[in-house]
Amino acid sequence: MKYVGESVLKEDAWDKVAGKAQYVEDIKIEGMLWGIAVRSPYAHAIIKNIKTEELELIPGVHAVITAKDIPGENRVGPSAWKDQPVIAEDKVRFFGEAVALIAAESKEMVKESASKVIVEYEEIKVISELQDALKKDCPVVHTDGNVFLERKIAKGNFRNAKKNADLMVENIYQTQSVDHAYIEPDSCLAVPQKDGGVLVYTSTKSVHHDKEEISRVLGLEPSKVRVKAATIGGSFGGKSDIPLICMTSLLAVKTQKPVKMVYSREEVFHITSKRHSYIMKYTHVVRKDGKILGVKVDVLIDAGAYKGYTPSVLGRALIHAVGPYNVDNVSVCCRAVYTNKTSSGAMRGYGVPQLCFAYEAQMDEIAQKLKINPLQLRLINAFKPGDRTITGQRIKSDIRFKETIKKVGKIRENSENTNIQPSTEKSWIKRGWGMACCMYGNGRTGQPNPGIAKVQIEDDCSIMIYVGSPDIGQGSNTIFRQIVAEILQINIDKVNIISADTEFTEDSGTTSGTRLTFIVGNAVKIAAEDLYKKLSLFLNEYGLDLPLDNCLIDLVRKAKEKGTKLFGRGFFDPPTSPLDSKTGQGVPYGTYTFGTQYVEIEVNILTGKIKLEKFIACYDNGRVINPTLYKGQVIGGIVMGIGYAFLEDLNIWKGKITNANFDSYILPTSLDVPDIDVNVVISSDELGPFGAKGIGEPAIIPTAAAIANAVSRALKVRARCLPLNLEKVIEMTQRRDIL
């Protein structure tokens, strides 16, 4: 192929390098005001009274808004779950929750004004730990109780499997909450329109969902709200702060002036969603030959103050709880719990990296107890074509998951550093290796999930793609241009794209769930094919010949004379079905991405420092459309996973994050990243565009698990809690549960 499979340069690369890309904070409009939220200093409190009278007399302050001033519904949230107020009404449930809004003429003025709002609170006991939320004498965050959701999957008979097993391995694992740590803070600019509506520029992963929420909160007809994504400075599942876009829009409509709100870094930490922390109990029952007969899993998920994305994260956690292994007897139960923290939400991997850390630790412990090579144990149990997942979905014939394990093993065997032994020169340096495997469903879980696209020939002889899902930096716009150029056999420089603007695009869903290449990419491909068919008829009618490059000018002229637009439309919704409410059986995803990672490390037992020496990653990713973007996703995911494994941790005291800035919230740098050998096992997914599948989220899932297994092997002590920071590693060296 000419374009698919080639490393085409991202169309926004030069603008970003040159500083020309327009982020929300770069957009300036004459007469623009600045907005700010007055935020609660408590994580759990009753709002007794709010006094704003003094502010309303200050010159330069244009608006003060509290919950009573909201013209529409004061409840927002993703999908069907609307439980978070834009502005708190009678109670605050996390530190920093908004209680009032102010618009003023400068940043300095609006900050000073916020300090003059007087709010009387009555403090309530804070729930900051998962276990505390379950205690009988614990206060409730919401009236429906702290445990608000429980779902299960049952397959086969775990009790019978336990009776027939030769070995049982049972352990409890725990993971921490972490921040997305994107460089660009959440921001929004709202511009009032003459018809009473509003134009919103924002950093987002879903303009169409934003439009729905804004129109509902402001009580406007959807046709009066336009949302357009600016350049987005990182997301990783974040950039979905619905209260922010609604707050900015409220201020703009109230003042009838453009209003911009930009979070400080501290606000990003305190206010925006985080990765869920988990407590997980795993029980594996196994035959002595290594075959896993059954798995029982109990998971407790910290949702934070509001439901947010937790119900869908919990659903994905259920499905991925056993990992990429063929197990006939499974019992999985996941419960979601409210605490007084900012809401947990979508983050790269969507609830699966936590589980992978636990089930891959179980795999290594099983291998150690049965004296089986860990790689071989995984091959014994790995999914192969025709197997069924724990939801009963049949694994497709085109998967090559086992080949990823074998390829990593072969690269390791050929490596110069395969002899991982304790150093004889430095007795305080311990060396170890670890591996981990994963699977990840592409798209939303067991529900309609369509991608919609239009491809049109414009009057200037360019080809324009219209798609609603934003490119959040991963390069989806480039992938779509490659697909269209390939189908139409036209120079890719003539293919442009308009994405994430509600005025010009239909709703093709959020940029999430590793869905854009597989689902929206399919819609783009179908749209291009539809256009190609129409072109063939049109060209025959006027005696013009392909290739398109040679006849575009004549084609556009003839179309103008005829008064017609030449376009194709594409729609793709993968074949899925909801999970049964009792057994959890169903077909949640159209396809799965599989992968394996391997790492070699050194651990200094005197300081607790972990040094990564080598990383190998290999995925069954279908056909790779853009090798450079694929490699970038894998490396980026691994770097995020390194931070998750032994550096990043939100320190929370009475609901308040105490390390709410990059000077104390420690992220990996280039010095923490080893050489990363990125590989792919070429296959061709039967549904994906040109056989492609997604890689954005699978790239991070096994990383922390592989590192934890390597640390466990080096120290001969099992790691059961993340992050493996200096203190945790030192504590591990002092434990007695030697492997």
If one looks up domain 278-444+581-733 in CATH, what number appears?
Answer: 3.30.365.10
Q: Which helix (H) or strand (E) holds 624?
A: none
Please say if the pLDDT value at position 422 is more than 70: no
pLDDT of residue 151: 96
| d(C-alpha 129, C-alpha 18), whole Å | 45
Average pLDDT, the chain: 95
Region 312-338: what's the mean pLDDT?
Answer: 98
Region 175-200: what's the mean pLDDT?
Answer: 97
Please say if the pLDDT value at position 602 is more than 90: yes
Please say if the pLDDT value at position 540 is more than 90: no
> Which residues 6+ apart lie within 8 Å of 161 measured at CB?
285, 293, 294, 328, 329
> Which residues 6+ apart lie within 8 Å of 717 measured at CB?
732, 733, 735, 737, 738, 739
Which of the residue ranges 410-424, 463-477, 609-623 would you say has the lowest mean pLDDT? 410-424
415 or 595, greater pLDDT: 595
Q: Cβ distance 601 to 613 under 8 Å?
A: yes
Predicted TM-score (pTM) of this structure: 0.96
Please say if the pLDDT value at position 418 is more than 60: no
pLDDT of residue 421: 55
Give helix 548-562 / helix 521-542 axis angle, nearest 10°. Answer: 70
Confidence category of residue 275, pLDDT binned at 50, 70, 90: very high
Output DSSP code: residue 516: I
> Which residues 6+ apart lie within 8 Å of 503 measured at CB?
226, 228
Domain boundaries, the chain: 25-124+186-262, 278-444+581-733, 450-572
Distances (CA, A) of 113 to 42, 56, 271, 374: 20, 10, 20, 61
pLDDT of residue 689: 97
| d(C-alpha 280, C-alpha 90), whole Å | 35
pLDDT of residue 314: 97
pLDDT of residue 736: 56
pLDDT of residue 739: 57
Partner residues linked to 261 by β-bridges: 188
CA angle 668, 670, 671 (to 5 degrees): 85
Q: What tokens does 310 get?
A: 């937790």
Tell me the pLDDT tens digit for each residue of 126-153: 999 999 999 988 999 999 899 999 999 9
Residue 325's SS3 state is strand
Please say if the pLDDT value at position 570 is more than 80: yes
Give helix 207-218 / helix 242-255 axis angle, nearest 10°. Answer: 50
Tell me how crowded residue 660 is: count the other CB atoms within 10 A of its CB: 22
Tell me how crowded residue 388 is: count the other CB atoms within 10 A of its CB: 15
pLDDT of residue 545: 78
Cis peptide before 723 (omega within 30 of 0): yes
Q: Which of 353, 316, 3 is nearest to 173 (CA)?
A: 353
Instruction: Tell me, yes or no, if the two domains 25-124+186-262 and 450-572 fold the same way.
Output: no
Residues 450-572, CATH architecture: 2-Layer Sandwich (3.30)
pLDDT of residue 377: 98
Confidence category of residue 67, pLDDT binned at 50, 70, 90: very high
| d(C-alpha 690, C-alpha 254), whole Å | 50
Strands 225-229 and 118-123, sheet pairing: unpaired
pLDDT of residue 425: 58
> Which residues 6+ apart lie within 8 Å of 564 measured at CB?
none
Region 441-463: what's the mean pLDDT?
Answer: 95
| d(C-alpha 36, C-alpha 102), whole Å | 5
| d(C-alpha 310, C-alpha 149), whole Å | 9
Please say if the pLDDT value at position 456 is more than 70: yes
| DSSP calls for 650-712 | --EETTEES--STTTS----GGG--EEEEEEE----SSSGGGB---TTTTTTTHHHHHHHHHH
Strands 225-229 and 167-174, sheet pairing: unpaired
> Which residues 6+ apart lie within 8 Å of 489 measured at CB?
2, 546, 547, 548, 549
Q: What tokens does 265 get?
A: 């870094």
Residues 25-124+186-262, CATH architecture: Alpha-Beta Complex (3.90)
